[in-house]
Amino acid sequence: MAYIELRVQFMGSIKRNDLVRRFGIKHAAASRDLSLYTDIAPANLCYWPSTKSYHPTSDFRPLFQLRQDRVISWLLHGYGDGVDQTPAHEFVAEDLSLPLLFDTAVLSTITTALHARRALSLALSGDPSPQRSFIATPTALFKAGTALYVRVFDEDRYDHLTLALPAIAQAAPAGGVAPVRIALPVDRQWQDELLLDLRVHPASLEPALVEMSHGLLHGMRHVKARAATAGYLLRAHAVDCSAHQSLPAASHPLYLANRCILARAESACLAPGFDAHP
């Protein structure tokens, strides 16, 4: 039941085959599960005979109140299809990361458009003109540290850009209920893959400990990152990207040995200590 609801809410539709592929069940069992959900929440779904799929109605109200971190895990990794909200083990295990804060309704609108490659009308938080919106098509979703970001194509700028999810105040389908699917230009920053050379900070007082705790081998680790996301990744992990490793080793246990590669990344401005012209 939870999977049906998540799929409909964040992907915009579900078919019988989606349940068959996900759970390895027979088509008859999948039909029974869909019928059961519609019996429990008849106002949530409508059936489209032309595509043999179920879609959320305008009166959709989720039955399951899942934590936002579980929703994100499902969107990014396919985890968390169940509804159990408590850990099964009986020992203390805490997540000390800051909780993600965003509007679930905005996220579901974005992921539905992302799945269908449809354009949205977006309004940003803190915009001095709250009535102003712009047309953009979501192309990717990614998480860096404790923050969630959306990569979009902005039609006005005719360029791709990255938005923090909490910065999006409103999101709605552009051009009506079923806007026309558009062909987007190539996102070269997203496609350009960088190989980051991470090493133990030379001023570290415990280089062996840093190496073990960060998965380094012989003092280094190579990490692949997109040019569009490299700066976000380096900031999330507090990697010293200054020209002479000038940031404190206590708060920046790693440094970027091949910092010149960031010249290819528009997100380089977010990398700690990075200066394009040192």
> Model pTM?
0.78
Chunked mean pLDDT (size 10), the chain, 278 residues = 90 92 92 94 94 93 83 73 49 65 89 91 78 88 91 92 94 66 82 97 95 93 97 96 96 97 97 87
Q: Which of 35, 65, 95 is the last residue of a domain?
A: 65
Give residue 144's domain range: 104-182
The whole-number pLDDT of residue 124 equals 92
Q: Say if strands 239-240 and 254-256 run parallel, antiparallel, or are unpaired.
A: parallel
The whole-number pLDDT of residue 129 equals 61
The whole-number pLDDT of residue 207 equals 94
Q: Is residue 194 a contact partner of residue 227, using CB atoms and an 8 Å limit?
A: yes
- For 8-33, the pLDDT digits (tens) are 998 899 999 999 988 889 999 999 99
Whether 168 is covered by a domain: the verdict is yes
Number of domains in the chain: 3
Provide the CA 51 distance to its chain's centre, in angstroms. Answer: 28
CATH of the domain at 10: 1.10.10
* 133 shares its domain with 196: no
Whether 88 is covered by a domain: the verdict is no
The whole-number pLDDT of residue 266 equals 96
The whole-number pLDDT of residue 89 equals 45
Residue 224 to residues 192, 215, 228, Cα–Cα distance (Å): 10, 14, 12
Residue pointed to by tokens 């923090």: 164
Q: How far apart are CA 278 and CA 276, in angstroms?
A: 6
> What percentage of the chain carries pLDDT values higher than 90?
67
Q: Which of 34, 65, 96 is the last residue of a domain?
A: 65
